[in-house]
Amino acid sequence: MDTAAADRPSATYDRIGIGYSDIRRPDPRLHALIGQALQGARTVVNVGAGTGSYEPEGADVTAVDPSQVMLDQHPGATKVKSGAEALPFEDASFDAAMAIMTVHHWPDLHRGLGELRRVARRQVVFTWDPAHRPELWLLEEYLPEIRDLEHDRFTLLTEVADALGAHTVLPFAIPHDFTDGFQIAYWRRPECYLDPVIRQASSTFAQLPPSVVEPAIARLRADLDSGAWHRRHADLLGRQSMDYGYRLLIAGE
């Protein structure tokens, strides 16, 4: 079913959404963590659902997204075009609401989180804390413009947790072979950032002009060719995972 369009434009994901699922493949370790948080929920609303990553098996899932391009790639039967701030559902319609790497896109975070609490008895939110250190080397060394974008759109984890009423905050360290190709995934695979297809699946890269991205990627390519990147980051090469500030928040019943 479809409802009225979202409050905010969905232009970014309408643009990057084609082929999105080829790069953004759910990681089984994150899927397991989210699945544990949703355990026992028979009805789930996935807000900012995209292509349906991390939805629990066996549950009756309603996918909500403001982008028709993304909804068209979602495999589910029940899909609603809507923004998070005005969900078209009755109070307590679902056992659980999930929102995975999406709250930073919402134009009114508090209103959206309030809607999650209104329509579901349990809320599960996966997001990133902009106050966390260390940051990904890409931001410091090549594209500080991404840092500016990220800090503008991500809200401090403490504020998100307070607004959600979260009783549990679980850290998720990013594995070196993380399969979900959002920006942080390639912290130990720097050559992947050279691929324009991979970059196109990241909303931050997609919002920056080529005049900013291309010179930065050229510098990265040169550092990889010369071995300078590997010398600077030799400490990363033996690590299996890195905590870059990604957290799973759980609230409600």
Distance separating alpha carbons of residues 26 and 30, to the nearest angstrom: 8
> Phi first, then psi: what are they for 122, rounded to 5°?
-130, 145
**Higher pLDDT residue, 51 or 61?**
61
Give 118's pLDDT tier (boundaries 50, 70, 90).
Answer: very high
Mean pLDDT of the chain: 91
The model's pTM: 0.88
In this structure, are residues 106 and 112 in contact, taking their beta carbons and an 8 Å threshold?
A: yes
Return the pLDDT at 3. 36
pLDDT exceeds 50 at position 1: no
Q: Is the pLDDT of residue 119 over 80?
A: yes
Q: Phi and psi dihedrals of 128, rounded to 5?
A: -125, 145
Per-residue pLDDT of 164-221, as tens digits, reads 999 999 999 999 999 998 889 999 999 999 999 889 888 888 889 999 999 999 999 9
Q: State how far the alpha carbon of 180 is from the alpha carbons of 177, 212, 235, in Å.
A: 9, 25, 23
Tokens for 78, please give them: 């029940």
Percentage with pLDDT > 90 across the chain = 81
Q: Would you state the pLDDT for residue 100?
A: 97
Q: What is the pLDDT of residue 21?
A: 55
Collapse the DSSP code of 148 into the 3-class scheme (helix H, G, I; strand E, B; otherwise coil) and give the result. helix
Domain map (residue ranges) of the chain? 11-252
C-alpha closest to that of 164 among 218, 122, 131, 223: 122
Q: Over the stretch 223-244, which tens digit does the pLDDT of each residue have?
A: 999 999 999 999 999 999 999 9
At residue 20, does pLDDT exceed 60? Answer: no
- Grade residue 22 by pLDDT with cuts at 50, 70 and 90: low
Q: What is the CATH number of domain 11-252?
A: 3.40.50.150
Which residue, chain included where needed, has tokens 């920056």?
208
Alpha carbon distances (Å) from 242 to 37, 126, 203, 235, 237: 22, 17, 22, 11, 11
Q: Look at residue 6 and tell me whether its pLDDT is greater than 60.
A: no
pLDDT confidence bin for 69, thresholds 50/70/90: confident
SS (H, E, C) 7-67: CCCCHHHHHHCCCHHHHECCCHHHHHHHHHHCCCCCEEEEECCCCCCCCCCCCEEEEEECC
Per-residue pLDDT band for 23 (boundaries 50, 70, 90) equals: low
